């Protein structure tokens, strides 16, 4: 829980059910309710991908939801982190041999954290989100780093033009 101790921002979460059996879904929801209550850390479940930092996906990819998953991911602003929850989201799980399952979420979008389990327990999910926060912070630093380099180069160029 060490990341939690110095949580700088309030990450917002978007949850999408790709083709899960619901088991992992309701455990994600259980994280938001009084026993686990992640809202006390400022983590909020949002319905709008444009507000979200972390995408929680349960279930595997099938032909119908493939564009939906990609669409949601693309609508999220950078930096963003994807957490795949449950065996299904990692590999297709128990359904991997079904004719309509292409495999895990990483078939369509890059995944940063895999939370194992069938069903994944709320404690594990929270752990996964905490890991994701670390990655989010790293990505943000990289982005700001890049931005600063760009900014620096721009300033240098402007200064060069001046002389």
Partner 1 sequence: MPKRIVVPFGPQHPVLPEPIHLDLVLEDELVVDVVPSIGYIHRGLEQLVQKREFTEYVYVAERICGICSFMHALCYCQGIEHIMKVEVPDRAKYLRTIWSECSRLHSHLLWLGLFADGMGFENLFMRSWQLRESVLDVLEDTTGGRVIQGTCKVGGIRRDIGQEKLDEMHRALDPFEQQCRDLGDVFLNDETVKYRLQGLGVISKDEAYTLGAAGPTLRGSGVAVDLRETGYAAYGDLGFKPIVETAGDCYARCAVRVKEVYASIDLIRRAIDGIPEGPLDVKVKGAPDGEYFSRVEQPRGEVVHYLRGDGTKHLARARIRTPTLANIPALVKMLPGAQLADVPVVVLSIDPCISCTER
x/- mask, ligand SF4, residues 138-157, rule CB under 6 A, reads: --------------------
For 84, the token pair is 């795949």
Q: Computed over its alpha carbons, how large is the radius of gyration of the chain?
A: 18
Q: How far is the CB of 83 from partner 1 (least distance, A)?
A: 16
Asked if omega into 79 is within 30° of 0 (cis), the reply is yes
Near ligand SF4 by CB under 6 A: residue from 14, 18, 20, 62:
20
Does 132 bind ligand SF4 (CB under 6 A)? Our answer is no
Spatial strand order of the sheet with 81-85 comes to 44-46, 12-17, 54-58, 81-85, 113-115
Contact 105, 89 (CB under 8 A): yes
Q: Can you give the length of the chain in residues?
A: 163
Does 158 bind partner 1 (CB under 8 A)? Our answer is no
**With CB under 6 A as the contact rule, which of the stretches 42-50, 74-82, 83-91, 99-107 interacts with ligand SF4?**
83-91
Cβ nearer to ligand SF4, comparing 93 with 136: 93
Residues that bind ligand SF4 (CB under 6 A): 20-21, 23-24, 58-59, 86-88, 93-94, 118-119
């Amino acid at each position: 829980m060490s990341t939690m101790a110095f949580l700088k921002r309030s990450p917002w979460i978007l949850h999408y059910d790709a083709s899960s059996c619901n088991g992992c879904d309701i455990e994600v929801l259980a994280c938001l309710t009084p026993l686990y209550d992640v809202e006390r850390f400022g983590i909020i479940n949002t319905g709008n991908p444009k507000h979200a930092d972390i995408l929680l996906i349960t279930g595997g990819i099938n032909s119908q939801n493939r564009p939906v998953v990609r669409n949601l991911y693309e609508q999220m602003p950078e930096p963003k982190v994807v957490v795949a929850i449950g065996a299904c989201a990692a590999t297709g799980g128990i359904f991997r041999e079904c004719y309509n399952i292409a495999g895990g979420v990483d078939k369509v979008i890059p995944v940063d954290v895999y939370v194992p389990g069938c069903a994944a327990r709320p404690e594990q999910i929270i752990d996964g989100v905490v890991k994701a926060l670390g990655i989010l912070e790293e990505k943000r630093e990289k982005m700001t780093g890049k931005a600063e380099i760009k900014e620096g180069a721009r300033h240098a160029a402007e200064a060069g033009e001046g002389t």
